[in-house]
Amino acid sequence: MADNKKMVEQITDMEQDFAQWYTDVCTKADLIGYTSVKGMFILRPYGYAIWENIQREMDARFKATGHTNVAMPLLIPESLLQKEKDHVEGFAPECAWVTMGGSEKLDERLCVRPTSETLFCEHWSQIVHSWRDLPLLYNQWCSVLRWEKTTRPFLRHREFLWQEGHTLHATAQEAIEETERMLNVYADVCENILAMPVVKGIKTDKEKFAGAERTYTIECMMHDRKALQNGTSHYFGDGFAKAFGITFTDKDNVQKTPFETSWGFTTRTIGGVIMTHGDNSGLVLPPKVAPIQVVVIPVAGHKPGVMEANQAVVDALTAAGFRVKMDASDKAPGWKFAEYEMKGVPLRLELGPKDMEKNQCVLVRRDNGEESFVSLDGIEKTVADTLQAVHDGLFAKAKRNLDEHCYPAFSLEEAKALQLERGGFIKTMWCGDADCEERMKAEAGMSSRCIPFDQEHLADVCPICGKPAKHMVYWGVAY
């Protein structure tokens, strides 16, 4: 760019200030809008469209695994929330309460749902009687409210959109299988739809969900090597069912308590997508959730036949099922290039007079900037292949980032130094004591991300206390 015109929509370089880069992308790519209440964000049409695409992929998988959608109430009476002790203790600090109805004070205050376990439990205690009623495989798409102290676009809203699955089973075995099945659904969506590699594992007791017996998690690594918990699946045992008096009569005519799970995936993942794939030109979207997969930019559109030729390409691609947009505005081509790069559109197709003579167009990949001249014949196939190549390219790059920033450590000092110097996931053995976990947090600034399914035997003892080790743990600085 020869002229030095100020780039009005320019974003901060991520190397210079990653946090500012992130905020710039959220706002300049039209994903997020601020409101006058802290932590309450608007998902603008372009941002919401990404969520809709994620939602569509997820929902199809939920249905395929036998789940049905329901809608539960927004408000939870305090008495109901208090029935499970650990649960209420965990969520109490971040509950918002409704205390007035119109101009009258309510007898019992109502919590704006931070999660809906208690509502499902109350309902199930009413409708479950027989083993024939089980399993119950429910899911709801909704928003929940948590009065967070620090808020950031996508990563931490006070109100956020999510899905929460809730299921009830006759046996513990079945419930555990469900918990693991849904974790795998999350991992599948992350890797094959969002091109985000995950580490699957189990949360330590300190990090697990309030009221859960066991929490499974998928952890992702961001470009700045911080960790993002990107979805969790909880096994509750029969704790909630007992607290809420849910019982059923089994085949053997014995009254039993069923076993429960819940699992959640939120708009936070969009923040993860931004911080996994984005670059200094802005957002980079995985093709499978990009609201616009191909942007068609006519060059010299005023010349005879150019717009018609572009429209023909748009029609062909749209008919083939791609999400396509043509920008026929009178902005300069360079402006359009920058604009759609900032918005993360995976493929750009340029078509001008010179291309028309050769029956070709220019195709540019957002992930690596690669430009190629391709024939207009069979453009649908070329676009399909290139979009897949973009997905694969994004995944490979993110996988490399993850793999290259996982380091074993054999002492607390070493773990601390590695985190400080290189960031990423530090893996160590662990004795299983919460005290050692606290020390890692206090001295190295890292929380346990998970006890990964893929265990390695790095040593015999816990590097923090020297006692015999039980597991290998991934540690990291988390969002």
Partner RNA sequence: CCGGGUGUAGCGAAGUUGGUAUCGCGCCUGGUUUGGGACCAGGAGACCGCGCGUUCGAGUCGCGCCACUCGGACCA
Could you say which residues in the range 145-164 bind RNA, by CB under 7 A?
146, 148-153, 155-158, 160
76 is an interface residue for RNA by CB under 7 A: no
Closest CA to 98 of 112, 84, 116: 112
Contact with RNA (CB under 7 A) among 210, 220, 292, 450: 210
Question: Which residue lies nearer to RNA by CB, 128 or 361?
Answer: 361
Could you say which residues in the range 370-429 bind RNA, by CB under 7 A?
none
Which residues share a beta bridge with 139? 69, 165
d(C-alpha 314, C-alpha 185), whole Å = 34
Question: Which residue lies nearer to RNA by CB, 134 or 290?
Answer: 290
Say which residues have a Cβ less than 8 Å from residue 30's Cβ, sequence separation at least 6.
44, 45, 46, 47, 343
Question: Which residue lies nearer to RNA by CB, 150 or 253?
Answer: 150
Question: Which residue lies nearer to RNA by CB, 258 or 352?
Answer: 352
Question: Which residue lies nearer to RNA by CB, 64 or 332?
Answer: 332
Say which residues have a Cβ less than 8 Å from residue 223's Cβ, sequence separation at least 6.
14, 18, 275, 276, 278, 401
Question: Which residue lies nearer to RNA by CB, 5 or 457?
Answer: 5
What is the DSSP pairing of strand 227-237 with strand 259-266?
antiparallel
CB of 269 to RNA, least distance (A): 9
Could you say which residues in the range 318-357 bind RNA, by CB under 7 A?
330-339, 341-342, 350-355
Which residues share a beta bridge with 255? 249
Residue 352 Cα distances to 317, 333, 372, 399, 472, angstroms: 17, 11, 14, 37, 57
85 is an interface residue for RNA by CB under 7 A: no
CB of 129 to RNA, least distance (A): 32
Rounded-to-10 torsion of CA 356, 358, 361, 364: -140
CB of 86 to RNA, least distance (A): 12
CB of 114 to RNA, least distance (A): 8
61 is an interface residue for RNA by CB under 7 A: no
d(C-alpha 479, C-alpha 477), whole Å = 7
CB of 434 to RNA, least distance (A): 12
CB of 40 to RNA, least distance (A): 7
Could you say which residues in the range 22-41 bind RNA, by CB under 7 A?
22-23, 34, 36-39
Residue 132 per-residue DSSP state: G
Convert 443-458 to b/e letters by CB count within 10 Å (16 or more is b): ebebbbbbbbeeeeee
**Interface with RNA by CB under 7 A: which range of 5-13, 96-104, 376-384, 428-436?**
5-13
H-run or E-run covering 42 = strand 41-43
Say which residues have a Cβ less than 8 Å from residue 335's Cβ, sequence separation at least 6.
none
Closest CA to 281 of 343, 346, 194, 370: 343
Question: Which residue lies nearer to RNA by CB, 128 or 327?
Answer: 327
Contact 341, 309 (CB under 8 A): no
Question: Which residue lies nearer to RNA by CB, 158 or 416?
Answer: 158
CB of 478 to RNA, least distance (A): 5
Contact 258, 128 (CB under 8 A): yes
Question: Which residue lies nearer to RNA by CB, 178 or 350?
Answer: 350
20 is an interface residue for RNA by CB under 7 A: yes
Could you say which residues in the range 300-319 bind RNA, by CB under 7 A?
300-302
The site that binds RNA (CB under 7 A) totals a number of residues, namely: 74
Using a 10 angstrom Cβ sphere, with 0-12 exposed, 13-18 middle and 19 or more buried, the burial of residue 111 is buried
CB of 144 to RNA, least distance (A): 8
Could you say which residues in the range 232-251 bind RNA, by CB under 7 A?
232
Which residues share a beta bridge with 429? 472
Question: Which residue lies nearer to RNA by CB, 19 or 75?
Answer: 19
CB of 134 to RNA, least distance (A): 27
CB of 353 to RNA, least distance (A): 5
d(C-alpha 257, C-alpha 245), whole Å = 8
Contact with RNA (CB under 7 A) among 61, 181, 399, 441: 441
Could you say which residues in the range 169-208 bind RNA, by CB under 7 A?
207
260 is an interface residue for RNA by CB under 7 A: no
Peptide bond into 298 cis (omega under 30): no
CB of 51 to RNA, least distance (A): 12
